[in-house]
Amino acid sequence: MDAMVTIAAAGDVHASEATRARLEQSFAELEERVDLVLLAGDLTTLGEPEQAQVLAGACAGVRVPVCAVLGNHDLHSGRGDEVADVLRDAGVHMLNRSSTTLELEDGEVGIVGTKGFIGGFTGSSLPDFGEPLLRRVYAETSAEVDAIRQGLQAVAHCAIRIVLLHYAPTSDTLHGEPEGIWTYLGCERLATPIAEYRPDVVLHGHAHGGSFEGAIGTTPVYNVAVHVTGRDFYIFDLEGHDVEVETRA
């Protein structure tokens, strides 16, 4: 039998004291419904460890594995390492240019996780040329691309393979956002290792005004920012290369 996993995914939950009750309720409602929870960055409002504690409290009572990547909001205050440590202490698998393999009931699930970065898409992309500062931006995205490639190589043996990002790897899921800011919402270079290794699904957030669904080759890509999905979590059933999207609210 092919491996099957049910995933609850959300991006841009922006935890703070103001969202405590909603987060606790939404996580509690996942009980017995899913095998895995994936959080696609912007876990906090301004990257304060106290805000991470709110999300950590909601995650701590969840019986299934929770994996997450940081987003730009989580780094805003320069305390991203502390934010990650708070969540890690609550049992969250924090992924930063890394991967993890989870042994679930129906088989191994490999998750490659990293923030991603900016760079743009065809017609408006940052080149590896010019001032050193701009070239450092290009190099930062290159390091994210390399991490995705290395992660997919590491989980190649898994029955199900997932890439978890914050920034978008395709412009498909940016439609609805002003094209003038697409360069800062993601980068098409992130798609190169995805097209090469063809994971089962890619999840990201960040583009609050973007579109839900896109693709890189045959790999489906979903923007799971809560502003896009309109719900606290979106539920996916994955079986090999087949992805079934839950339609109920």
Report the domain count for the chain. 1
Question: Which residue ranges in the chain fall short of pLDDT 50?
Answer: 1, 247-249
* pLDDT score recorded for residue 3: 76
* pLDDT score recorded for residue 248: 41
Concatenating the DSSP letter of every residue in the chain gives ---EEEEEEEB---B-GGGHHHHHHHHHTTTTT-SEEEEES--BSS--HHHHHHHHHHHHT-SS-EEEE--TGGGTTS-HHHHHHHHHHTT-EE-SSEEEEEEETTEEEEEEE------EETTEE--S-SSHHHHHHHHHHHHHHHHHHHHHHHTTTSSEEEEE-SSBSSGGGGBTB-GGGGGGTBBGGGHHHHHHH--SEEEE---TTS-SEEEETTEEEEE-BHHHHSSS-EEEEEETTEEEE----
* pLDDT score recorded for residue 249: 40
* pLDDT score recorded for residue 209: 98
Give me the domain span that covers residue 226.
4-245
* pLDDT score recorded for residue 229: 97
Q: What is the pLDDT of residues 142-200, one digit of tens each?
A: 999 999 999 999 999 999 999 999 999 999 999 999 999 999 999 999 999 999 999 99
* pLDDT score recorded for residue 172: 98
Q: Is the pTM of this model over 0.85?
A: yes
* pLDDT score recorded for residue 107: 86
Q: Domain holding 16: CATH number?
A: 3.60.21.10
